[in-house]
Structure 1
Amino acid sequence: MSSPESVTSSITVLAENIGGIDSTEVTLEPGVNVLTGRNATNRTSFLQTIMAALGSRRSSLKGDADAGHVELAFDGEQYTRYLERRNGEIVFEGDPYLEDSELADLFAFLLESNEARRAVRRGDDLRELIMQPIDTDEIEAEISTLEAEKRDLDDRLDHLSQLGNDLPELEAERTSLEDEIETTSERIADLKDDLEEFDLGVEASRARKEEIESAFADLQNARTELESIEYDLETERESHAELEAERDDLEAELDGLDDDLESPDRLEGRVQELRARKRSLDTTVSELQSVIRFNEERLADDGFDLELGDSIDSDSDGDTDTGGDITDQLLADSSDVVCWTCGSQVDRERIETTLDQLRSLRQSKLTERSDLQDQIDELSTRQKDLREQREQREATETRLEAIDDELERRSQRIEELEAELEAQQARVDELEDDAGTVENAAYDEVIETHRELNRLELERDDLEAERDDVDARIEEIEAKLDERDELEDRRETVEAELTDLRTRVDRIEENAVDAFNDHMESILSILEYRNIDRIWIERREKTVREGRRKVTRPAFDLHIVRTTEDGATYEDTVDHLSESEREVTGLVFALAGYLVHDVYEIVPFMLLDSLEAIDSDRIAELVDYFEEYVDCLVVALLREDAEALSDDHAYVREI
């Protein structure tokens, strides 16, 4: 149940085998219920009954019971809890009021064993108790998530920064390439102009001119094809070399494997044989242990008890003197025992010697069994290693076969390319010879111009391809740099969220401490202790060691301010308080926790016990103070302490 309903009806509590209670049924009323009576009247057990029904696991079963249960009914609803002892532990089942009773256990169920009260009595650091109901784990998890995101953003921004540094160099490279392309294009244009201005009509016919131009076009195409074949051939040779290197490595690896591997299947038979022997030894050891234990028990009991009376009665003459002789004979030597196998007297040392021999035999069997297990483990490991080596060899051999096939295919391709290269080179040579045959003194300049023009056009193509690559890289970087503003904005947001989360825990702790101090001051003002002016919590930082490093962690210290008889004030610690003052301080702290964490919004009950350290008038003031916060306040008091409370409260005098 996440939030309580107001308690408007009577409350029925039924319990069986809880604490010291055999069985009981008690009716409580909304408001204050006073359990009054002497000590040892099951008042605390009854409070544990209510705790169990509300969801607490800090209740106990009756010592002589294996199971118990409790029922709590009010406002038309019923809540049940079943307790059962299993394997030495108490198991809780049923449908309690609260799914999680942690907060109520700390600050609503204020019995003497209450952890908040005990922590104050011991002088513990109170931070864990105060902060325990506050879910700071979720905040810490969120901090970790944001820190990881921030690291990722930093890495991406660093990468973009590096890309931004690369951009000027790429832009300069692009400008340089464009300048080279422009220069080459201008040179190509000049050569074309030279060819057009060259007057072939004076020296040769138009057919002659076309013949020359055709010869150079064929030569250019042949050279381009030659370069393509050379590239393919080089690629195939590199792949062939890589495959040969891999084959050499695999062959070396294969040589390193043991050729004479033992069969793992053969070892399996040996393993099964050893396991069968071990099972037989297990049976033998178990039987020996049973025999040893039986004989040890019989030896401890001095053998079987003999029915001496029956022996006497069975004598033919019933002579009691004869029976006395038999008894004397049996008890004549205290070192003799009656054998439990044949019924005769046997010297104890002989039996103990036999037992020692049995124990020695059992120990030797245990040693033999251990040796067998070691052999089984060794053979099993050997089996596993053999299988892995066999699988490794098979995989290596399969890969070698594939490499051999690939090498054969590539060798064949290399031979084909070499033949193509040789043929293409012959064609280029032939075309160059053909171009040379059309040369003469008059056409030398034309031929050289064509050659230069072809070279420059190829060079320009390479430059343009390189420039296109640089342009693509620049566009890619610029597209990524467009994300930088968005990433920087997100990083600022993450940084702000981290700052807020890291300070949120501090703010929560400060607010909790302030709230505790305010409520403790209010409660202490009700109690009106003359020698205790103030109880307050100080939040401070302390250095602790975590592993090899020292870290700073917050700590909550409890302080007490006192006033001397002459009116002077001074600060004291819990260590210097008397036992009764510690009880009061612990109770004040726990009651403050009830108010700080709004426990009354979670469970409509509050249980108070062990208030003997407070006088009856102050108890009455506390009860009146908390009555307005809780629908049902149940307080256990001695009769004399209950006298100061109002008669309007409900009183339970018998449980």
Structure 2
Amino acid sequence: MAQISKNAVRVDVRNIGGIDEASVTLSDGVSILTGRNATNRTSFLQALMAGLGSRQSSLKGDAEEGEVTLGLGDETYTRTLQRRGDSVVYGGDPYLDDSELADLFAFLLENNEARRAVARGDDLREIIMRPIDTDSIDAEISEYKRKRDELESEIEKLDSLERDLPDLEADRREKVAELEAAQGELETVREELDSFDAGVEESRTRKEEMEEAFQRVRDARSELDDLEFDVETERSTLSELKSEREELEETVEAAEDPDENPDRLAGRIDELRRRKRSLDDEINELGSVIGFNEDMVDGSGIDIDEGMPGDDPTDALTAGDQTMCWTCGSEVETDQIEATLDRLRELRSNKLDERNEIRAEIQELTERQSSIRETQREIERAEKRLETVQTEIESTESQISDLEDRIASKQEEIEELEAEAESIDVDGYDETLELHREANGIELRIERLEDEIDEIDDEIDDREEAIDRREDLKAEREEITERLTELRTRVDRIEENAVEEFNEHMQTVLDILEYENLDRIWIERREVEVREGRRKVTRTQFDLHIVRSSPDGTAYEDTVDHLSESEREVTGLVFALAGYLVHDVHETVPFVLLDSLEAIDSDRIARVVEYFQSHADYLIAALLPEDANALSDEYTYVEQLD
């Protein structure tokens, strides 16, 4: 017995599997539970799993409650099991809150799902990808797609601005030409005024009075022109608002109420999620029951030291084709137990299929719920905008009415000012008045053209400044596109890495174990079309391949069905270890538990344990004495569970 290190783990067990009570202290490194079959080694491993957080353990048949206490360093973890009707309720404060990862890739007992998937020749992808949180990746993809769409919309607007620049510049040239022509006209009129004024004999006072009258008329006409421009602007705005109102009204009228209520869908989704959690528990419990009964059938789970009559404990349990039922104590046909186990396995397989169908339905309903809610949000936004537009229409109509009143008032004012100017008695007044009116009109046109040119210049500057930002937006879009590509290929890379790492470890172990005609066992990753709910989708699948050598040295491909039991056990163990490494399970739980290695000869078991020990702080293996003898004396050996 090796000396217990300072990092020892104390495990106290009561009423778990076939154990009444047991207390075992394990050191770090490798610990070997050695003994004949039916000495509760598997029960102890299941108890340790329970303390670490697994639900794949069972109560002792005659007990109503059991408990595991795990002392690890300065921390103490507990797991309680209570029988309630036909089920077992788990409680306490175990090492792990969620043990799925450890159940798959750290707790490598005979009924371990990863090992069994290899033994059955199943698609291995579902096993190795199950712990990956693809939902969060999908949510991140949706968020980045939204950002990318917004950037593309903004870039498209900037492209449109750039396409409009030539038209704006042409418009500016036209306005400049009009301005120059108007300035020429004004110069001509002013020359005529100067020529006319030179021949008019009148007092300076009357001229000044006439000029002031003309200036008041010009000012009033300028104000009238501004008012008319404002009213035209408001009328244009009103027309646009009415067009938008019509479009919104059509959108709201055309919108159909969704056939389904998203809240009702939410209820259905919650119901499916509860059913999935229930299936998870049932699948785990069935796995525990199947594993326990398989151990009992094999004889490894029965404590032969407790009250069995006769010289040979096995004789008390088996007689011909009959055995004593460990549940009710009566004798039953062995074939009947095997048939029951087959039904339990079939039931678990059906429940796994049902869980996959529920996952697909949850995904489909979630997408449908999201679509309905988005449609409702669009209708709500349209209705809210319709209310705002109606308010803006009423406000604009009020402003137009006010401007029209002001225009009418200004026109009356101009008539009065012109009448006042006309009352001034100056020789040649009619000709002078007409020239001043013409000059006034030209000046107003010049002011308007100058304002329009300034507006065009400002718009050109704004557009050029915005266009300058386009390259930054394109760069940001490129980053988001790269991120989307990275996200979309993340699962692919994880799959590729998983396959690559599995294949590397398999080759390493095959080299260590030196199977003569087994050259290579490897996983191929390929895409297949499968039905998921109501849809056909493309999924990746992991297929296991075997390469053998014939006696003449010719290599050929074989199937998993032709692997020997020993080869299957090794393959399953190494696949599970690959998952332990790929998913960094050591960061979650520093334990690897090994059981049911009898199909592998003792020398190869020693090599497997040596290979495994470098990947976990604690490796605990249950072995027969003859197999344990081939292992290193440096390991910790536990020969009695008490």
TM-score, normalisation: structure 2: 0.65
**CA 411–613 in structure 1, closer or farther in 2 if over 3 Å, else same:** closer
Query: Could you say what the CA RMSD is over the residues aligned between the two structures, in angstroms?
Result: 4.2
In structure 2, what residue type is equivalent to 1:535? I
Give the Cα–Cα distance (whole angstroms) in 1 for the partners of residues 30 and 209 of structure 2.
Answer: 123
- State the 1:598 CA deviation: 5.3
Cross-structure match for 1:575: 561
What CA distance in whole angstroms lies between the structure 1 residues aligned with 2:470 and 2:95?
Answer: 55
Q: 1:104 to 1:83 in 2, by over 3 A?
A: same
Please report how far the alpha carbon of residue 139 of structure 1 lies from its aligned counterpart in structure 2 after TM superposition: 5.1
SS of equivalent residue, structure 2 residue 543: strand
Q: Which amino acid aligns with 1:533?
A: D
Aligned with residue 527 of structure 2, among 533, 538, 541: 541
3-state SS, counterpart of residue 518 of structure 2: coil
Q: Secondary structure at the match of 1:182?
A: helix
Paired position in structure 2 for 1:45: 43
State the AA in 1 paired with 2:445: E
Aligned with residue 111 of structure 2, among 108, 113, 117: 113
Q: From the superposition, tell whether residues 119 and 431 of structure 1 become closer, same or farther in structure 2 (CA, over 3 Å).
A: same
- Asked if the contact 1:102/1:133 (under 8 Å) is kept, the reply is yes
In the TM superposition, what are the counterparts of 1:190-589 in structure 2 within 5 Å?
190-200=188-198, 203-221=201-219, 223=221, 420=409, 424=413, 427=416, 430-431=419-420, 434=423, 438=426, 442-545=428-531, 551-577=537-563, 581-589=567-575
Q: What's the offset of the Cα at 1:138?
A: 5.3
Deviates more, 1:106-115 or 1:175-184: 175-184
What is the rounded CA distance, in whole Å, between the counterparts of 2:602 and 2:236 in structure 1? 100
Q: Distance in 2 between matches of 1:229 and 1:600?
A: 79
Residue 56 of structure 2: aligned partner: 58
- SS of the residue corresponding to residue 198 of structure 1 reads helix
Q: 1:506 to 1:182 in 2, by over 3 A?
A: same
Cα 1:236/1:620, change in 2 over 3 Å: closer
What is the CA distance between 1:645 and its match in structure 2?
4.2
How far is the alpha carbon of 1:128 from its aligned partner? 3.2
Q: Which residue of 2 aligns with 1:288?
A: none
Q: Distance in 1 between matches of 2:147 and 2:402?
A: 52
Query: Is the contact between residue 237 and residue 414 of structure 1 (CA under 8 Å) also seen in structure 2?
Result: no
In 2, distance between residues paired with 1:518 and 1:482?
A: 52
1:185 aligns with 2:174: no
Decide whether the 8 Å contact of 2:155 with 2:470 is kept in 1.
yes
Counterpart pick for 1:125 among 123, 126, 138: 123
1:97 to 95, 98, 102: 95
Displacement of 1:581 after TM fit? 4.4
Structure 1 pair 547–192 and aligned structure 2 pair: CA distance change class (3 A): farther
Of residues 5, 8, 22, the one that matches 1:24 is 22
State which drifts further: 84-93 or 118-127: 84-93
User: 1:426: how far off?
Assistant: 5.6
2:101 partner letter: L
Residues 300-345 of structure 1: per-residue CA shift (max 9 Å, x gap): xxxxxxxxxxxxxxxxxxxxxxxxxxxxxxxxxxxxxxxxxxxxxx
Please identify, of 191-200 and 227-236, the stretch whose mean Cα deviation from structure 2 is larger: 227-236
2:255 aligned residue = none
CA distance in structure 1 between the aligned counterparts of 2:634 and 2:403, rounded to whole angstroms: 111
Report the counterpart of residue 652 of structure 1 in structure 2: 639
Q: Distance in 2 between matches of 1:199 and 1:233?
A: 38
Q: Is the 1:81–1:93 contact (alpha carbons within 8 Å) kept by the matching residues of 2?
A: yes
Deviation of the 1:14 alpha carbon? 1.0
Going from structure 1 to structure 2, the CA distance change for 1:82 and 1:151 (only over 3 Å counts) comes to same
Whole-Å Cα distance in 1 between the matches of residues 401 and 516 of structure 2? 108
Provide the secondary structure at the position in 2 that maps to 1:81. strand
| Residues 227 and 403 in structure 2, CA contact (< 8 A), matched pair in contact too | no
Give the Cα separation in 2 of the matches to 1:411 and 1:622: 90
What is the rounded CA distance, in whole Å, between the counterparts of 1:229 and 1:654 in structure 2?
A: 101
Asked whether the 8 Å contact 1:532–1:560 carries over to 2, the reply is: yes
User: For the Cα contact (< 8 Å) 1:616–1:641, is it kept in 2?
Assistant: yes
Structure 1 position 643, deviation (Å) = 4.8
* Counterpart Cα distance in 2 of 1:511 and 1:29: 33
C-alpha distance in 1 between matches for 2:508 and 2:638: 27
Aligned partner of 1:634: which letter? I
CA deviation after TM superposition for structure 1 residue 143, in Å:
4.2
Partner Cα distance (2:594, 2:189) in 1: 110
1:616 maps to amino acid: S
Tell me if the contact between 1:7 and 1:631 (Cα under 8 Å) persists in the aligned partners.
Answer: no
Q: Residue 152 of structure 1 aligns to which amino acid in structure 2? A: E
**Contact 1:32/1:633 (<8 A) preserved:** yes
Per-residue CA deviations over 1:596-640 (Å, capped at 9, x if unaligned) read 555456544321112232233332332343344444432223445
Tell me, in whole angstroms, the C-alpha distance in 1 between the residues paired with 2:75 and 2:209.
Answer: 113
> In the TM superposition, what is the alpha-carbon distance from 1:47 to its structure 2 partner?
0.6
Match of 1:170 among 163, 168, 171: 168
**DSSP 3-state at the match of 1:113:** coil
Give the match's secondary structure for 2:92.
strand
Partner of 2:260: none
Aligned residues of 2:202 and 2:426 also touching (Cα < 8 A): no
Q: Is the 8 A contact 2:545 2:558 kept in 1?
A: yes
Distance 1:536 1:461 in 2: 84
Contact 1:607 1:634 in 2 (8 A): yes
Return closer, same or farther for 1:9/1:178 CA change in 2, 3 Å cut-off: closer
In the aligned structure 1, how far is the partner of 2:498 from the partner of 2:640?
Answer: 39
Q: Which secondary structure state, in structure 2, belongs to the residue aligned with residue 509 of structure 1?
A: helix
1:516/1:222 Cα in 2 relative to 1: closer, same or farther (>3 Å)?
closer
Equivalent in the alignment of 2:592: 606
- Which amino acid in structure 2 is aligned with residue 149 of structure 1? K
Equivalents in 2 of 1:241, 1:481: separation in Å?
30
Q: Which residue in the other structure is 2:256 paired with?
A: none
Partner SS, residue 12 of structure 2: strand
CA distance in 2, matches of 1:212, 1:648: 123
Equivalent AA in structure 2 for residue 571 of structure 1: E
Number of residue-to-residue matches in the alignment: 487
Paired amino acid for 1:478: E
Residue-by-residue CA offset, 1:109-161 (whole Å, 9 max, x unaligned): 11112111121123222123334455666555544443333322222111111
The residue type equivalent to 2:419 in the other structure is: E
Q: Deviations over 1:467-490 (max 9, x none)?
A: 232223222212212212222232
Q: Which runs of 5+ in 2 are unaligned?
A: 241-386
Of 129, 150, 157, 2:155 maps to 157
Q: How has the CA–CA distance of structure 1 residues 142 and 72 changed in structure 2, closer, same or farther, with 3 Å as cutoff?
A: same
Q: Is the 8 A contact 1:7 1:604 kept in 2?
A: no
Q: TM-score, normalised by structure 1?
A: 0.63
Whole-Å separation in 2 of the counterparts to 1:467 and 1:169: 13
Q: Are the aligned partners of 1:7 and 1:632 in contact in 2 as well (CA < 8 Å)?
A: no
Instruction: Return the offset for 1:222.
Output: 5.2
Q: Which amino acid aligns with 1:120?
A: V
CA separation of 1:477 and 1:615: change in aligned 2, threshold 3 A: same
Letter in 2 for 1:15: V
